[in-house]
Amino acid sequence: MARLRIKDILTTTPENQQITVKGWVRTFRNNSFIALNDGSTNNNLQVVIDFNNVPEETLKRITTGAAVQATGILIPSLGKGQSVEVKAESIEIIGDSDAEKYPLQPKKHSLEFLREIAHLRFRTNTFGAVFRVRNSLAFAVHKFFNEKGFLYIHTPIITSNDAEGAGEMFHVTNFDIANPPKDENGNVDYKQDFFGKATNLTVSGQLEGELAAMAFSDIYTFGPTFRAENSNTARHLAEFWMIEPEMAFCDLQDNMNMAEEMLQYVIRYALENNKEDIEFLSQRLEEEEKQKPQNERSEMTLLQKLQFCLDNKFERVTYTQAIEILRESNHNKKKKFQYLVNEWGVDLQSEHERYLVEKHFKKPVILIDYPKEIKAFYMRQNEDGKTVAAMDILFPGIGEIVGGSQREERLEKLETRMKEIGIPAEELDWYLDTRRFGSNPHAGFGLGFERLVLFVTGMTNIRDVIPFPRTPKNCEF
């Protein structure tokens, strides 16, 4: 008999039908009641066995973590919190679990402990909920762009360019690193390497995405990106996933509208399809918040925060306006910011972004027209000569969630900017060709997928929203 998922069984009308269920034992009470879970939902299915008709040897093997198969009749349940249960006719142990050694006992475990056994943390309610929500968000991203007629492009993971110009890249080489070949000047001779040049793991698929947008008009990438940034914080990963749409014949306004629509679409999809999981995570967050001092607690629950982003049109504000608001705020004057805002041109910190969203505008904010000195070379220069047509979307509790811009489509302007910051034109000649042949106003943005999952799940550490986190001094599995 085919296995039925517990999620589906729990919503099935019991008509004394015979079913087969497989899963892992969460608890086993009184030699009669098995709480079974198969990962399709956080809710367990109660399997009732007649211990008088089950060999004692089998009963001893029904332990927490064991994989079992039960075949029996689906009946209404008299127990609290469940509408159905299975009256088992047969029980089979598929995989034993030594109860003495199994690390996940039926009790509350700290997230720190679970990170140490990350290979088993999927089996907990918290991580079950997080990764089901992550799955829905990923599906919703593809669904949104597919419905919009975008083409999904796979951009390279190994690349010879540094799209961001930040230089924090992982190098890829086939050399014996203890003894690489050298050229006549004593430098490493990358011409002899596997690719014949220096290569790295990608920091962004944007530049290659622009090439595709210049042929297909609307494309997006969704893939892994890497930063060799030695940041051991709750907000940084060395390997993470990025969603990067690129749109031809689009300006900054179109870009903002698309990003706002996409964020609201995927959040709404998760709320509609993972209601139970998000309610569980919202309750979990409320419990966690109770441990904090009153002044550090969030003013909104997780569900309120998500609804806040759906109910409000995002406020459009220039960087210059934002600096003035921050500079004149009581928060700044009373030195409540860790980083005081005194002058135009500073890069805003998360505390400033959150102040604008949570205290001043009380709605999500899109900041535009940033100083060109703090933004990437490819962003379109505004007529004032000081700012670029950049945009950042700011959300409550997290600050920046999306960064993007209208791209500089004018060849001369782009070449001049590259020269100013020392990017050799010959290295990106292929990129400049898009400005030589059929150039047009185009725009795009980047959304760090883990940042989105962090926001929607209410988790506080980015290592808890990716299955296998890669951080400084940590590369398990």
* Predicted local distance difference test score (pLDDT) of residue 168: 86
pTM comes to: 0.94
Q: Where are the domains of the chain?
A: 6-106, 123-168+203-464
C-alpha dist (Å) from residue 314 to 141, 321, 392, 406:
19, 16, 11, 18
* Predicted local distance difference test score (pLDDT) of residue 185: 93
Q: What is the spatial distance between Cα 134 and Cα 222, in angstroms, rounded to a whole number? A: 14
Q: What is the spatial distance between Cα 73 and Cα 310, in angstroms, rounded to a whole number? A: 43
Q: Please indicate whether the domains covering 6-106 and 123-168+203-464 agree at the CATH topology level.
A: no
Q: What is the spatial distance between Cα 253 and Cα 444, in angstroms, rounded to a whole number? A: 11
* Predicted local distance difference test score (pLDDT) of residue 325: 97
Closest residue by Cα to residue 72 from 33, 10, 1, 19: 19
* Predicted local distance difference test score (pLDDT) of residue 251: 98
* Predicted local distance difference test score (pLDDT) of residue 234: 87
Q: Is 364 within 8 Å of 296 (Cβ atoms)?
A: no
* Predicted local distance difference test score (pLDDT) of residue 293: 85
Pairing mode, strands 158-159 and 84-95: unpaired
Distance, CA of 376 to chain centre = 23
* Predicted local distance difference test score (pLDDT) of residue 264: 98
CA atoms within 13 A on the CB side of 378: 24
Vertex 254 angle, CA 262 and 370, to 5°: 95
Q: Is 32 within 8 Å of 62 (Cβ atoms)?
A: no
Each residue's pLDDT expressed in tens, for the chain with a length of 477 residues = 799 999 999 999 999 999 999 999 999 999 999 999 999 999 999 999 999 999 999 999 999 999 999 999 999 998 788 899 999 999 999 999 999 999 998 888 999 999 999 999 999 999 999 999 999 999 999 999 999 999 999 999 999 887 766 668 999 999 999 999 999 999 999 999 999 999 999 999 999 999 999 999 999 999 999 999 888 888 889 999 999 999 999 999 999 999 999 999 999 999 999 999 999 999 999 998 888 888 778 888 999 999 999 999 999 999 999 999 999 999 999 999 999 999 999 999 999 999 999 999 999 999 999 999 999 999 999 999 999 999 999 999 999 999 999 999 999 999 999 999 999 999 899 999 999 999 999 999 999 999 999 999 999 999 999 999 999 999 999
Return the CATH fold of 6-106: OB fold (Dihydrolipoamide Acetyltransferase, E2P) (2.40.50)
Distance, CA of 332 to chain centre = 31
Q: What share of the chain is helix, strand, coil (3-state, %, to 5)?
A: 35, 25, 40
* Predicted local distance difference test score (pLDDT) of residue 81: 81
Q: What is the spatial distance between Cα 21 and Cα 23, in angstroms, rounded to a whole number? A: 7
Does domain 123-168+203-464 sit in CATH 3.30.930.10? Answer: yes
Q: Residue 102, Cβ neighbours under 10 Å: how many? A: 14
Q: Dig out the tokens for 77 from the structure.
A: 């349940």
Closest residue by Cα to residue 247 from 239, 256, 238: 256
